[in-house]
Amino acid sequence: MIRYVLETMVFQLLFLLVYDLFLRRETFFQWNRAYLLGAYSISLLLPLVKIPAMRAFVPAGRIWPAAAIHSLDGVTVSAAATSGTGWSVPWIPAVFLGGLAMAVLLFAWKLVRLYTIKKKGLAQKYPLFTKILVTNSHIAFSFFRDIFVGDRHDAGMQKHIIAHEMVHLRQRHSLDLLYFEFFRIVNWFNPLVYGYQRRIAEIHEFIADEAVPWSGRKLQYERLLSSVFETHRMSFINHFFKSSLIKKRIVMLQKSRSLSIRKLKYLALLPVLGLMMCYTACQDEGLANPDETAQVKDVWNLSPQEEERVFSRVKALAATTSPWTYTVTDGTTSLHFMKGDGKSFITGPNEEHIDAKMVIEGAIPDESEAGFLDFAAAVPFRLVQQAPVFPGCEEAEDPRACFNEHLQEHIRKNFNYPEEAFKKGIQGRVNIMFTIDREGKVTDIKKRGPDPLLEEEAVRIIEKLPQMQPGRQEGQTVDVPYSIPISFKLK
């Protein structure tokens, strides 16, 4: 999500630079209005667009899908903690929600101010609009069909203001401002949305001023220069008098119309747009790099930061359509992650299922002389022709699913949170690997977790598994390796 936000902000900045460098000084006001609205909208969609024709496909090698030894689901066992530091909220969501709440309150405050002004004013209804005459005031602005005018303006100025604001009304400029106002709330942290809204407000005033006939423009200058500025800090209304806009409006009123050939400047958008699309496509190309490697200290004992980084990367890769591989290594052992086939997946730190496969290569803790997975004598659980049969699953239509269900039930039934781990507040995930041998017995239990207390409890639970009917491959009994993560959590 953070990556998406950063990409949209980069795209918005590039679009804004093109506007400021090439288009802002031209008098193609309607074109500029469409550009600002379209550019901001496109910037939100571009990071999501993937063009297959622009991607590089790299074929994956033929490797054993060792993730097939893993069970369909991990098991989470928990105990209610009687003490601790209390509940905690991740700081990024907390900051975002706090800012969002403040932005909503600010918008509500603006609406209340607008409502208060309207209630105090004298409403005069006309066929196309409602005039709100505000006593003892110099204000002049519009919001949808309501045109607010202070009674300190003489009749001539009021008539001019209403003619000007009617342009805003007919062209629905309030919708443009509310569009950006919505993103000022949702993307309150993004300074670029404020820039887009300011520029669209400028364009609105230029469009309305352009409706003034050439013969009346001198009078328009005089009225703008002699006006008493009384503005309200509401970003979604069309201000007639706003000191930061007066000078720009006068400059534009004096400016001759841009030559039509200058519309070719809009073509500057094409190479920028092409570069953006290449960038998003190249993201997949980079993700599909089969040689991508991450170096860690110990693949079997990742730190929380390393685990988050590894699985975030795998999750991002899994979201792409191109083949990919990603290797995590400590120099002795390597975990090769690759594109999933929809039949198996790996489990992330938060029990999240990620559509990917994993192959283990190299040394495994406490490994036997034959290595962790001897394919000459063992067949992974998901690939064996006849899976081991858990007691009670003899008549099951799907022995594998039944095996998983009974194993999970066995873990929950025999679970006992270690008292010392409970007191110390220790929690985490223990990866358990074991083999169901040719006699149906559970052997060669291996474990890896954040603390020996949790590891010992996980091993104790697995050691209590009953004898099963062994797995078979081509009519012969075989060793069947199996793996399941057990997550210990304190509530």
Is 60 a residue whose pLDDT tops 60?
no
Domain co-membership, 79 together with 100: no
Domain co-membership, 342 together with 448: no
What confidence score (pLDDT) does residue 199 get? 92
Is 135 a residue whose pLDDT tops 60?
yes
Poorest-confidence range of 14-18, 203-207, 307-311?
307-311
15: Cβ contacts below 8 Å, ≥ 6 apart: 39, 40, 42, 43, 269, 272
Domain co-membership, 154 together with 210: yes
Average pLDDT of the chain is 77
Domain co-membership, 358 together with 383: no
Among 219, 234, 268, the domain-final residue is: 268
How far CA 155 is from CA of 68, 104, 146, 151, in Å, comes to 82, 38, 18, 9
Using pLDDT thresholds of 50, 70 and 90, give the confidence band for residue 133: very high
349: Cβ contacts below 8 Å, ≥ 6 apart: 307, 308, 311, 429
Q: Token digits for 4?
A: 């998406």
Domain co-membership, 242 together with 122: yes
Is 267 a residue whose pLDDT tops 70?
yes
Q: What is the DSSP letter of 308?
A: H
Quick check: 288 and 324 in contact, CB under 8 A? Answer: yes
pTM of the complete model beyond 0.85: no
Distance between the two ends of the chain, CA-based, in angstroms?
27
Identity of the highest mean pLDDT range in 168-182, 214-228, 343-357, 382-396: 168-182
Domain co-membership, 192 together with 334: no
Q: What is the DSSP letter of 66?
A: G
Identify whether 63 is part of a domain: no
Identify whether 66 is part of a domain: no
Can you say how many angstroms the Cα of residue 116 is from the centroid of all Cα atoms in its chain? 38
Identity of the highest mean pLDDT range in 41-50, 139-148, 215-224, 326-335: 139-148
Identify whether 178 is part of a domain: yes
Identify whether 177 is part of a domain: yes
Identity of the highest mean pLDDT range in 85-94, 190-199, 353-362, 425-434: 190-199
Q: Token digits for 475?
A: 């009519």
How far CA 326 is from CA of 84, 291, 341, 345, 357, in Å, comes to 38, 7, 16, 15, 10
What confidence score (pLDDT) does residue 125 get? 92
Using pLDDT thresholds of 50, 70 and 90, give the confidence band for residue 345: low
Is 220 a residue whose pLDDT tops 90?
no
Poorest-confidence range of 159-168, 191-200, 247-256, 262-271?
247-256
Using pLDDT thresholds of 50, 70 and 90, give the confidence band for residue 54: very low
Domain co-membership, 144 together with 122: yes
Is 252 a residue whose pLDDT tops 60?
yes
Among 335, 362, 389, the domain-final residue is: 362
What confidence score (pLDDT) does residue 84 get? 42
**What CATH number should be reported for the domain holding residue 457?**
3.30.2420.10
What confidence score (pLDDT) does residue 242 get? 59
Domain co-membership, 416 together with 452: yes
What confidence score (pLDDT) does residue 363 get? 56
Portion of the chain with pLDDT greater than 90, in percent:
26
What confidence score (pLDDT) does residue 240 get? 56
The pLDDT of 3-28, averaged and rounded, is 87
Poorest-confidence range of 198-212, 262-276, 438-452?
262-276
Using pLDDT thresholds of 50, 70 and 90, give the confidence band for residue 304: confident
Among 268, 301, 322, the domain-final residue is: 268
What confidence score (pLDDT) does residue 465 get? 93
The pLDDT of 395-414, averaged and rounded, is 89
Identify whether 316 is part of a domain: yes
DSSP 346-400: EE-TTS-EESEEEEEEE--TT--TT-S--TTTB--TTT-SB--B-TT-TT-S-HH
Domain co-membership, 357 together with 433: no
Identify whether 275 is part of a domain: no
Identify whether 210 is part of a domain: yes
What confidence score (pLDDT) does residue 447 get? 85
How many whole angstroms separate alpha carbon 467 and alpha carbon 390? 8
What confidence score (pLDDT) does residue 251 get? 67
The pLDDT of 123-142, averaged and rounded, is 90
Domain count, the chain: 3
Rg of the chain over all Cα atoms, to the nearest angstrom:
33
Quick check: 266 and 23 in contact, CB under 8 A? Answer: yes
What confidence score (pLDDT) does residue 41 get? 93
Identify whether 282 is part of a domain: no
Domain co-membership, 229 together with 311: no
Portion of the chain with pLDDT greater than 70, in percent:
73
Range of the domain at 196: 2-56+93-268
What confidence score (pLDDT) does residue 262 get? 76
Domain co-membership, 112 together with 250: yes
Domain co-membership, 7 together with 113: yes
What confidence score (pLDDT) does residue 250 get? 65
Using pLDDT thresholds of 50, 70 and 90, give the confidence band for residue 352: low
